[in-house]
Structure 1
Amino acid sequence: MPAIPTIRRRMLGVELRALREGLGHTADEMAQRLGWHQTKVSRIENGRSGVRLNELEAMLDLYGLTDIEVREGLVNLVKEGKGRMWWTPYADVLAERYASYIALETEASSKRTYEMTLIPGLLQTPGYTRAVISALTPGARPEVVDALVNVRLARQSATLRRAVPLNLWAVVDEAGLRRSIGGAQVMLKQLQHLLEASEEPNITVQVLPFASGGHAGLMGSFTILQFAIRNDLDVVYTESDVSNIRLERQSDLATYSQVFDKLHAAALSVASSRKFILHVVKDLQ
């Protein structure tokens, strides 16, 4: 699997960019002085390329960083970024963009998500997940489907059952509740699980009913990942027809944060959302 931009790699990139900008040089200028390809420094800074320890030392020497404690901290980020992650055993079935997403999700402190057609992945039951994967990957071998279901369950464990669980705020369109994926019994278990999950202190679920009419989320599903370490690591993922698109500019983050604020304002309250889900459950029984 190609290198994954974990939060540690992105942290390193942010620190290296700050050092370079403090000297008043461009990334291309520094790459040239290091004898590297002109885009290498930029790719390291944005977390899309890893860096070897000897390369890091060369950068820090060029940037004039002499503080031993700071240097050791940056070296440790490289070492930690090379560690084995929980999804490594599934490397042969994970697309790079999906692995990149779960690498960041695993270390996020909070997640705000709007789902237009499905139950959010972190709140899915195994049966529902299997039905979704089977629909999205027709003809996939059973062992591949099994592996992808296991990845989804592992994602839930890595985020919602860790020592400090992820704060999840999900706005779910009514279509996600009404669409019968996997059949009535699968949907019944899924909605019951959604009700149970919504009672957890770190999970907020709101329903955006059809009756709300036109709304800011009509452009499609999206997710905002936030990190406790520093807010310039926050990222937005949007869904296209073929992939997830990662947006990191502050303007994009501000735009999607405003959209999410409008969505949760238009959605039912938490208490009313639970009543609405219960109503859908009764329709299935």
Structure 2
Amino acid sequence: MIGVAPDPKMLKIQLGIELRRLREESERTAAEAAAVVGGTAPKISKIESGKQGVTTAEVEKLAELYKAPAKRRKYLIGLASQLPKRSPRRTTYRDAVPDWFQRFHALEYAATDMRIYEVEIVTGLLQTEAYARSTIEAWEPAADPRLIERQVQTRMDRQEVLTRRQKPLNLQVVLSEAALRRVQGNSDIMREQLDSLIEASHRPNVELRVLPFAVPNRIAVASAVFLLRLKEQQLSAVYLEDVLGASYLDDPEEFTRYNVVFERLRSASLPEEESREFTAKVAGSYG
């Protein structure tokens, strides 16, 4: 049965990532943080790596020290309030909108390695601004333009994980040919997007492969799959998303099964240089 509460383990990891990011942005030391919660620097390290829980009172004190914006402070205190007092029985947890995105964003920010299979759309970390805007507008045609622009900017900001100086994300992406041929926006947007994919594929930390329709006897995977590894948090997790929410699978056997499936998709796809040539050919079809 699908639970309505988020995974406590993911909550602790998200809180740790967010609190560490706030601390670093405020240029506070772990010792300073420990002083306000009556602990030691190792305690802060455990909290920030997701290995130890944190109370709402501690989050409030840390957020005050870091001068976190009121909205962010309220959100993090709300997360801490959801942590169970005792360890629950293991089950399948599911995030509902809108927390799914904020939780995934935190995990993505802290990830050291990510493997993504996309079926119908170019993955968010490799989208151009125009392509991103078109996908968001398609989902929310009645949304206020200011909201659309904030979402576009957030998506663009996420891509910093690929270019940051300290520990850039190692990314492997397999795109179904459908993602290249399904028109998002118009021909100009698609041509720009595919040219951008080719450019991104030359980065040393990005591997991009295309899985063509013509590959015989390929396995069929109907939806997108995200595999994340967070070295510091010692986490390997599968992220699955649909229109109603998202699920996280962090059981070692489940992760391994999805990793095997990804490797089969990757092995069936074109090598990197051939994928670039294939993408360029499709880009040329947009005129």
The change in CA–CA distance for 1:279 and 1:159 in structure 2 (over 3 A counts) is closer
Q: Which of 232, 249, 252 in structure 1 is aligned with 2:251?
A: 249
Q: Counterpart of 1:164 in 2: which secondary structure? A: coil
Q: Distance in 2 between matches of 1:250 and 1:125?
A: 34
- CA displacement, residues 202-256 of structure 1 (integer Å, 9 cap, x when unaligned): 000000001125533523111001112254x111111224222211111210111
Alpha-carbon contact 2:111-2:230 (below 8 Å) kept? yes
> Displacement, 1:73?
3.8
Q: Distance in 2 between matches of 1:185 and 1:199?
A: 22
The change in CA–CA distance for 1:120 and 1:196 in structure 2 (over 3 A counts) is same
Q: Counterpart of 1:201 in 2: which secondary structure? A: coil
Alpha-carbon contact 1:116-1:220 (below 8 Å) kept? yes
Long gaps (5+) in structure 2: 1-5, 18-35, 76-96
Task: Mark the structure with the bigger radius of gyration.
Answer: 1
More displaced stretch, 253-262 vs 215-224: 215-224
Match of 2:105 in 1: 102
> Displacement, 1:107?
0.5
Q: Distance in 1 between matches of 2:41 and 2:169?
A: 30
Q: Which of 183, 191, 196 in structure 1 is aligned with 2:194?
A: 191
Identity %: 30
Alpha-carbon contact 2:16-2:48 (below 8 Å) kept? no
More displaced stretch, 222-231 vs 99-108: 222-231
> Displacement, 1:163?
2.0
Match of 2:88 in 1: none
Counterparts of 1:1-285 in structure 2 under 5 Å?
5=11, 7=13, 9=15, 53=37, 70-71=42-43, 73-74=45-46, 84=68, 88=72, 95-213=98-216, 215-229=218-232, 231=234, 233-285=235-287
The aligned length equals: 227
Q: Distance in 2 between matches of 1:156 and 1:76?
A: 22
- Which one-letter code corresponds to 1:74 in the other structure? K
Alpha-carbon contact 1:119-1:172 (below 8 Å) kept? yes
State the superposition RMSD in angstroms.
3.1
Alpha-carbon contact 1:170-1:206 (below 8 Å) kept? yes
The change in CA–CA distance for 1:6 and 1:127 in structure 2 (over 3 A counts) is farther
- CA displacement, residues 45-79 of structure 1 (integer Å, 9 cap, x when unaligned): xxxxxxx958xx7xxxxxxxxxx775464366657
Alpha-carbon contact 1:222-1:238 (below 8 Å) kept? yes
Question: Structure 1 segments of 4 or more deviating over 4 A?
Answer: 8-11, 68-72, 75-85
Alpha-carbon contact 1:106-1:155 (below 8 Å) kept? yes
Q: Counterpart of 1:281 in 2: which secondary structure? A: helix
Q: Counterpart of 1:210 in 2: which secondary structure? A: coil
Q: Distance in 2 between matches of 1:152 and 1:75?
A: 27
Q: Distance in 2 between matches of 1:193 and 1:254?
A: 31
**TM-score, normalisation: structure 2:** 0.70
Alpha-carbon contact 1:105-1:159 (below 8 Å) kept? no
More displaced stretch, 171-180 vs 70-79: 70-79
The change in CA–CA distance for 1:269 and 1:96 in structure 2 (over 3 A counts) is same
> Displacement, 1:282?
1.3
Greater helix content: 1
**TM-score, normalisation: structure 1:** 0.70
Q: Distance in 1 between matches of 2:217 and 2:176?
A: 12
> Displacement, 1:184?
0.2
